[in-house]
Structure 1
Amino acid sequence: MPAPAEKPVTVTLGKMGRLARRLVEEGRYASVSEVMRAGLRALEREEAALDELIKEKVAEALADPRPPIPMEQVFADLHERHVKRMTS
């Protein structure tokens, strides 16, 4: 049994609509729908890359042999830096 067809979605692009239409006029895409699909695929790739980066950073942090710094100390240090920057 074939998958049911997706219902059409109406999207207001605002200023981005001009870009989408220009890309179609330039022949880079066949339709604004194609531009939207390409944009969503790019967003999906970007989010996957960010997820991977976050996982790497968490793994690095967990593997760091240095002792953890208490949260209160981190905030105190940040506050001190901020005060110094504001008074300099």
Structure 2
Amino acid sequence: MARQSISFTQPNDEWLKTQVDNQEYSSKSELVNDLIRQARSQQVQIDWIKFKLDKAENSGFTSDIKSEILKQSKATLNG
């Protein structure tokens, strides 16, 4: 496993310490790795949504642009 040295702002460091102190994670390293895994997973989902939006936009099915489709989708999801 690669070792890195990183710096955190005071509020972020306190939050990390709290998570470890509350035994949510055994170490800051474990927590940071979990956050990175979550971000990577979210990026995969974002990329998939962008692909689908591009495909829909280019299919001729709608004349709406990407931003309008996304706005409508968010409105539908948020009720």
TM-score (norm: length of structure 2): 0.71
- Match of residue 8 from structure 2: 13
Which residues of 2 match residues 8-87 of structure 1 at below 5 A?
8-14=3-9, 15-65=11-61
**Greater Rg over alpha carbons, structure:** 1
* 1:50–1:36 distance in 2 versus 1, CA, 3 Å: same
The alpha-carbon deviation at position 31 of structure 1 amounts to 0.2
Residue-pair matches, total: 62
Aligned to 1:28, what secondary structure does the other structure show? Answer: coil
Gaps of 5+ in 2: 64-79
Gaps of 5+ in 1: 1-5, 68-88
TM-score (norm: length of structure 1): 0.64
**RMSD across aligned C-alpha pairs, in angstroms?**
1.6
The alpha-carbon deviation at position 46 of structure 1 amounts to 1.1
What is the rounded CA distance, in whole Å, between the counterparts of 2:62 and 2:37 in structure 1?
A: 40
The alpha-carbon deviation at position 13 of structure 1 amounts to 1.4
Aligned to 1:43, what secondary structure does the other structure show? Answer: helix
Tell me the amino acid that sits aligned with residue 4 of structure 2: V
What is the rounded CA distance, in whole Å, between the counterparts of 1:55 and 1:26 in structure 2?
A: 39
- Match of residue 67 from structure 2: none
